[in-house]
Amino acid sequence: MAGKFKILERKADCVLLSKAVGSDTKFLVKDIEGDLIYMSINNLSGAMAVFDSYDINKVHETKKREFEKWLSEFAEA
């Protein structure tokens, strides 16, 4: 069985995880909705940048705008 991820940082809307994979380290940023936001091998600085800047409220705003745009283009009442 593969080892578990280690929690490096955690905040209300996402978590930064790491896991040794052979001689490399895999980094993930995962949000509270289960979406994988970022994944890299041996790039902690990239993972930290994504983790630090992530805001699920901004993601929700973007998704809502994209949904409304889709509705206006492809649906009618």
- Write out the two tokens for 35: 């979406």
Nearest to 3 by CA among 20, 23, 27: 20
The pLDDT, as a whole number, for residue 10 is 98
The pLDDT, as a whole number, for residue 12 is 97
The pLDDT, as a whole number, for residue 1 is 52
- For every one of its 77 residues, what pLDDT tens digit does the chain have, with 9 covering 90 and above? 568 999 999 999 999 999 999 999 999 999 999 999 999 999 999 999 999 999 999 999 999 999 999 999 999 98
